[in-house]
Structure 1
Amino acid sequence: MTDTQALPPVAPEVTARLVAGLSPRLRKRLDAATAKLAARPVSRDGDVYRIALDDETTLELRATGGSVTDVDAIHCGCLLAPGCVHRPAAAGAAPVAAEATGPEDQATDDHPAPEPADPRAAPPTEAPDVPAATPQQLAAAAGLWAAGAAALEAGVDGAGAVVQAELLGAAHVARLAGLPRPAAAAVGVVGRLRAARAADPAYRLADLVEELRELLSTAHGLGRASGPRLAELRGLARRPYLPGGSLRLYGLFSEPVLAASGHAGVVTWTADTEGRLFRVPDVAPGGAERAAGAVERTVRLGDAALTHRRLARAGLVVSGATVSPDGRLGAGAAVRAVQAGGAGWHEPPLDRFWAEPPHRQAARALAAAALPEARRPPGSDLLFLDVTCRRPLRATGGHVLLADCAGVPVRLTVADEDPALAHRDNLRLLAAAPGLRLRVVGRLTPGPRPQLRLLAVGRPPGDEGPVLRLPDPAGRVDLGYDRLQRTDLPTSDATAPGPPALADDEAVPAPIHLLRRRADRAVAAGRRALALPGTAADDLPRLRRAGLATGAWLLAELHRAAADRGRDVFGRLLPADADRFARAWLATASYTESVAHALCAAAWAAGAEEAAREDDAAEVTP
């Protein structure tokens, strides 16, 4: 049987070896060949994927076991093969294959493999006292640093197939050396670079910046770390599942997953009677179409068989549960589970999540973000708030809805901009209903102002003020999957449908955006974008006046590292010092993140203090 679909995943070492074997002349043509090949249709016959290059020439990829793991599995029928540009172009156009999974993660016919293991996680046990990294690991870390610095030097436009292959080759060497965490970061950088160059609507520059910072910080720290810190930087290649006993779980919501590694699917969040969060993932290789339809796939745990959409509103009774440190439920043979009733967000035990004051939730999320990822509680970045919609804001980076949360102005943004998902349309509709009261779940975005990526909404308790009129008995909406209709909005004058007036975004309390903008610009456009003289002249005084003297020094050093170039004995310009520029950029990005976290905590706390003062004034007013 023959069907048409995307290319199979290709192992990182395959892409790296194919690109390394190209001549300098063909390397210059590789990006154009990759874009041209990606636009051609793909036919599949079993494990064989075929691309017709012309009427007489065919390119074949043999994906034994679901992915291409050998260079000989890519065969081209052109006259220049095997040294042609078509083979590495096909590898560059295909998604990157994930590493092999452990026994707990194996897929079945009815239940695909769950979300790939997070190499940054570690078991909640004491890390071994490792004195230092091995010479092999140090060499692998140096390769990762050099590849990451080259990607930063080139920027998105310059980080084509050759730069990506260097990252994938370094990732493969790092994985063989026992460094799965930085290797996963390198593969993540490649995925986000490809999304940026393909104009993927789900691409976010902030995600690429964070992934590149993760790669450079782990590669840089490996040469100086020992003991638990070294074990944390190395990460784990396998996700451990530990006994979890018996659990009574209640569904909270489902969210779509679109990973930079080429995986997609859904994660359904549940909670037990003690307020602990657990998640049930269904993630496999695929794109936005798989993420959009995964909510209707069946969850099989023991004797329970229900869709993710149903699980988000129902419950489970599980015995013999196995749980990973990041809260993922295993589906081993010894697990027994039956479907049970769920609970509303305003009913126990789920109502406890909204009982915690917002500023304490934000402080908890920020404190967890500062911990090593292995020690972060599951769902630590989730906030559960009662808000009132105010107005849409004109802001860069996407749609923003300003809401009031106990006196704190909170900016609600979409969790994913991909048009195949419902996030963007739902937020637009909510923005057309000022005064609407909502109970929401969102993911905290650290920054100088309170901001949340909205994941799910529902009706708040009580009958005061306009609320959603939903046909769903649970009274909740998973914003990535359930599409709101205008009939779901109240019809009062305060929430009458129509195009609301946009309000200009407000000024940032501290000019940390000046640093973030430069760090983002370096990633997007490369070192040359910061090498122009005088580009930071106006920003340095503003940072100093705001008390960010360290930030001003880092910004000046970033521009010096971008612009300084020596000359040889004949007066010719030497190449820029990519290592110095990468170190300056990493210091700037890390400082910006730390300051943003501090400003975020202060903003939530200030809003809570202001609300408390207003309550005290109301009590003493006769």
Structure 2
Amino acid sequence: MSPDLPPVVPSVTAELVAALSPRLRKRLDAGVTKLLARPVTRDGDSVRIAVDDDTDVVLHAPGGTVTGADAIHCGCLLAPDCLHRAAAASAAPVADDPPADAPAGTTPTGDEPTAAPETEPADGTAQTDGTGPADGTAPAGIETATDAQRVAARAVFDAAGAVLEAGADGAGAVLQAELLHAAHTARLAGLPRASAAAVSVVTGVRAARSADPGHRLADLTGALAEALGVAHRLPDATGDDLTGLRGTVRQPYRPDGSLRLYGLFTEPVLTATGYAGAVTWTADADGRLYTVSDVAPGGPARATGAADRAVRIGDTSLTHRELSRAGLAVSGATVSPTGRLGAGAGVRAVRAAGASWHAEPLDRLWSVPAADQVARALDGGPDLLFLDVTLAGTVRGTTGDCLLADCAGVPLRLVTAHDDPSLPYRDNLRLLAAARGSRLRIVARLAPGPLPRVLLLATEHPTDPTARVDLGLDRLQHADLPAGAVASPAADVPAADEPPLHLLRRRVHQAVSGGRRVLALGGGASGDGARLRRLGLGTAGDLLDDLHAAAADRSRDSFGRLLPADTARFARSWLAAALYTDTVERSLCAGAWAATAEAPAPARPTEVA
């Protein structure tokens, strides 16, 4: 996947790949690889790929997104049914299908485009997805899924199951196009959540196959579990459960009167979908969080540059970086359910004084006990944590080096929020490791797991408590550290006494990466299932054995030839193991933080807004 190419909506890629002959489909992955190595030039709304000295592929993207197959042109003799057009669409980032009422050539934008972005009309009025009542109802008048929605959900389940069957290593452009076609069908059937989840899987697979620095196997696993889980549950869902599984295309922005906001920090956004920008977090006097975002198609340069662009709200000229240290007075505010501030025509905003993290009203964010903040995040609230920590040096863990800190007696692991080398997260974390013994106030994002672990986003300055550092944008220097600070080598941490859930989690992740074949080779002979049962995780042991059995289940016909694999059975077994692992890990996370929240319902890893 190339961030230099404009995003292409799923229906376009699916249409171009479907038009290829069987012979050309076999050559599509090689064509994508070749195209990614060719020079790309941009001229206004058009992007040109030089296939060779005599042939160019041109993508026309008015509004920044390719929304029709006729917007991709090729100069070769086989056009328009050539391999180059399909390869170009398959190499580009995946955009969201525009809503039915969106003008041609436009696409909504948001912090996470693959998760049904929030948009707001220019006049500030609220809009919803427009999903009408179902064709049929349950005997008691409860709404049920329509026939078209059941068919679309089945298509998403089958296509996502085929990707799981092959694994990210084997899910080439053809399988990706089939899943994109299913995503488009789901969107047309009024299932934006299933559609967005399917798109997330495709973008995750492309990031994995292109060795994108931002790729994380856990994120792809979550996206696949979301797509399969929603598609599996939707046909039999009713009432409010059905409404949640359908999701919404657009979040309604509701009037919220006048707001007095105080800047907290700015976070760069760089997604595997080809979107980049910045999000500035603010809080009001009661501690409620609000965000102002500027995210659009782009790469690392836009992620770092957006912080110096003016925020798009009212007439204020504040940049995101300035807002993170200042304040904002807003009148006629409109706010989405997730706290995003709207930028409608009736919104007015002017610069106001900010506040220190140690002063009211921001100080109250850090006064909430860490366990209560974790409980709130696990129950579906904001996943930002406001913590006071004492740095304890670098430790070596199973997933690499991380910064160890003490948080009110809890040994906390601080890790980078993004691995892309263009963002200074990793360099800043390495420098902070030299400030051992420093007590700092930080902002982090919870990373649920058996051990207390967070993604470090912002911190107060190591030597100046009145200043703060946005770790994804600002670069610390050695002069910023306390006098005498010296980096020390990472220390080995004794293995924690925790349930061996990693035995199941490892197999779940292996299936996503390598497909069914990596689990079918060893069958259930490894003894991990029996070990889990001996240690009190009987359900985990049974799920692991069932996963191995489903992977190895291949029948033969009377001539000894292998019959087609039961993809659906393997997908259901994998989904059960993935949801169980996620739910137990969240419960263990609550226990590790001494949180008292109830264990959450089976997780929805990429909940559509």
Same fold (TM over 0.5): yes
Structure 1: stretches of 5+ with no match in the other structure: 369-376, 460-467, 608-622
Following superposition of structure 1 onto structure 2, how do residues 347-366 of structure 1 map, counting pairs within 5 Å? 347-366=359-378
Give the one of 315, 326, 332 matched to 1:303. 315
Following superposition of structure 1 onto structure 2, how do residues 169-188 of structure 1 map, counting pairs within 5 Å? 169-188=181-200
1:49: how far off?
A: 2.2
Structure 1 counterpart of 2:200, which letter?
A: G
Matched, 1:115 2:107: no
Greater mean deviation of Cα atoms: 393-402 or 578-587: 393-402
Counterpart position of 2:161 = 149
Counterpart position of 2:383 = 381
Structure 2 counterpart of 1:559, which letter?
A: H
Structure 1 counterpart of 2:463, which letter?
A: R
Pair 536,217 (structure 1): closer, same or farther in 2 beyond 3 Å: farther
Q: Does the 8 Å CA contact 2:431/2:478 hold for their aligned counterparts? A: yes
In structure 2, how many angstroms separate the alpha carbons of the residues matched to 1:501 and 1:222? Answer: 48
Matched, 1:159 2:171: yes
Task: String of CA shifts for 1:50-86, please: whole Å, max 9, x gaps.
Answer: 2222222222222233322222222222122222211
Matched, 1:446 2:448: yes
Q: Secondary structure of the residue that 2:236 maps to in structure 1?
A: coil
Q: Does the 8 Å CA contact 2:183/2:194 hold for their aligned counterparts? A: yes
In structure 2, how many angstroms separate the alpha carbons of the residues matched to 1:80 and 1:599? Answer: 57
Q: Give % identity.
A: 61
Structure 2 counterpart of 1:469, which letter?
A: T
Task: String of CA shifts for 1:31-58, please: whole Å, max 9, x gaps.
Answer: 1110110121122333332222222222
Task: String of CA shifts for 1:298-319, please: whole Å, max 9, x gaps.
Answer: 1132231101011011000111
1:394: how far off?
A: 1.6
In structure 2, how many angstroms separate the alpha carbons of the residues matched to 1:499 and 1:101? Answer: 53
Pair 321,215 (structure 1): closer, same or farther in 2 beyond 3 Å: same
Counterpart position of 2:513 = 524
Task: String of CA shifts for 1:562-596, please: whole Å, max 9, x gaps.
Answer: 00111112121212211100000000000001100
In structure 1, how many angstroms separate the alpha carbons of the residues matched to 2:279 and 2:102? Answer: 17
Q: Does the 8 Å CA contact 1:386/1:440 hold for their aligned counterparts? A: yes
Q: Secondary structure of the residue that 2:73 maps to in structure 1?
A: strand
Counterpart position of 1:286 = 298
In structure 1, how many angstroms separate the alpha carbons of the residues matched to 2:282 and 2:185? Answer: 38
Task: String of CA shifts for 1:108-148, please: whole Å, max 9, x gaps.
Answer: 9xxx9553674398989xx9875211111111000000110
1:106: how far off?
A: 13
1:433: how far off?
A: 2.4
In structure 2, how many angstroms separate the alpha carbons of the residues matched to 1:123 and 1:65? Answer: 23
Give the one of 554, 565, 578 matched to 1:565. 554
Matched, 1:254 2:266: yes
TM-score normalised to structure 2 length: 0.90
Counterpart position of 2:468 = 476
Pair 115,154 (structure 1): closer, same or farther in 2 beyond 3 Å: same
In structure 2, how many angstroms separate the alpha carbons of the residues matched to 1:416 and 1:536? Answer: 37
Pair 201,511 (structure 1): closer, same or farther in 2 beyond 3 Å: same
Higher relative contact order (CA 8 A, sep 6+): 2
Pair 104,457 (structure 1): closer, same or farther in 2 beyond 3 Å: farther
Structure 2 counterpart of 1:525, which letter?
A: G
Task: String of CA shifts for 1:476-505, please: whole Å, max 9, x gaps.
Answer: 11110011111111124xxx3234243246
Greater mean deviation of Cα atoms: 426-435 or 142-151: 426-435
Counterpart position of 1:538 = 527
Structure 2: stretches of 5+ with no match in the other structure: 119-126, 134-140, 597-609
Pair 574,103 (structure 1): closer, same or farther in 2 beyond 3 Å: closer
1:538: how far off?
A: 3.0
Q: Secondary structure of the residue that 1:223 maps to in structure 2?
A: helix
Counterpart position of 2:602 = none
Q: Does the 8 Å CA contact 2:164/2:511 hold for their aligned counterparts? A: yes
Q: Does the 8 Å CA contact 1:392/1:401 hold for their aligned counterparts? A: yes
Aligned residues: 579
In structure 1, how many angstroms separate the alpha carbons of the residues matched to 2:525 and 2:452? Answer: 28
Pair 226,52 (structure 1): closer, same or farther in 2 beyond 3 Å: same
Q: Does the 8 Å CA contact 2:10/2:97 hold for their aligned counterparts? A: no
Counterpart position of 1:550 = 539
Task: String of CA shifts for 1:468-527, please: whole Å, max 9, x gaps.
Answer: 124xx84111110011111111124xxx32342432462351111111111001001111
Q: Secondary structure of the residue that 1:301 maps to in structure 2?
A: coil
Q: Does the 8 Å CA contact 1:114/1:284 hold for their aligned counterparts? A: yes
In structure 2, how many angstroms separate the alpha carbons of the residues matched to 1:101 and 1:338? Answer: 32
Following superposition of structure 1 onto structure 2, how do residues 448-527 of structure 1 map, counting pairs within 5 Å? 448-458=450-460, 468-470=462-464, 474-492=466-484, 496-504=485-493, 506-507=495-496, 509-527=498-516
Pair 235,120 (structure 1): closer, same or farther in 2 beyond 3 Å: farther
Give the one of 570, 574, 584 matched to 2:573. 584
1:104: how far off?
A: 12
1:359: how far off?
A: 1.2
Pair 545,36 (structure 1): closer, same or farther in 2 beyond 3 Å: same
In structure 1, how many angstroms separate the alpha carbons of the residues matched to 2:67 and 2:287? Answer: 43
In structure 2, how many angstroms separate the alpha carbons of the residues matched to 1:107 and 1:177? Answer: 21
Greater mean deviation of Cα atoms: 53-62 or 529-538: 529-538
Counterpart position of 1:403 = 405
Q: Secondary structure of the residue that 2:181 maps to in structure 1?
A: helix
In structure 1, how many angstroms separate the alpha carbons of the residues matched to 2:98 and 2:430? Answer: 41
Pair 103,404 (structure 1): closer, same or farther in 2 beyond 3 Å: farther
Q: Secondary structure of the residue that 1:446 maps to in structure 2?
A: coil
Q: Secondary structure of the residue that 2:451 maps to in structure 1?
A: coil
Counterpart position of 2:136 = none
Counterpart position of 2:203 = 191
Q: Does the 8 Å CA contact 1:107/1:113 hold for their aligned counterparts? A: no
Give the one of 393, 396, 399 matched to 1:394. 396
Pair 104,562 (structure 1): closer, same or farther in 2 beyond 3 Å: closer
Q: Does the 8 Å CA contact 1:385/1:440 hold for their aligned counterparts? A: yes
1:395: how far off?
A: 2.2
Q: Does the 8 Å CA contact 1:394/1:505 hold for their aligned counterparts? A: no
Q: Does the 8 Å CA contact 2:401/2:490 hold for their aligned counterparts? A: no
Q: Does the 8 Å CA contact 2:3/2:274 hold for their aligned counterparts? A: no
In structure 2, how many angstroms separate the alpha carbons of the residues matched to 1:505 and 1:15? Answer: 49
In structure 1, how many angstroms separate the alpha carbons of the residues matched to 2:39 and 2:343? Answer: 37
Matched, 1:276 2:288: yes
1:9: how far off?
A: 1.7
Q: Secondary structure of the residue that 2:594 maps to in structure 1?
A: helix
Counterpart position of 1:430 = 432
In structure 2, how many angstroms separate the alpha carbons of the residues matched to 1:504 and 1:220? Answer: 41
Q: Secondary structure of the residue that 1:298 maps to in structure 2?
A: coil
Counterpart position of 2:606 = none
Q: Secondary structure of the residue that 2:317 maps to in structure 1?
A: strand
In structure 2, how many angstroms separate the alpha carbons of the residues matched to 1:388 and 1:115? Answer: 31
Counterpart position of 1:371 = none
Q: Secondary structure of the residue that 2:344 maps to in structure 1?
A: coil
In structure 2, how many angstroms separate the alpha carbons of the residues matched to 1:458 and 1:294? Answer: 22
Q: Secondary structure of the residue that 1:514 maps to in structure 2?
A: helix
Task: String of CA shifts for 1:311-348, please: whole Å, max 9, x gaps.
Answer: 01100011100000110000111111110000111111
Q: Secondary structure of the residue that 2:318 maps to in structure 1?
A: strand
Counterpart position of 1:7 = 5
1:432: how far off?
A: 2.3
Q: Does the 8 Å CA contact 1:440/1:458 hold for their aligned counterparts? A: yes
1:103: how far off?
A: 9.9
1:5: how far off?
A: 8.5
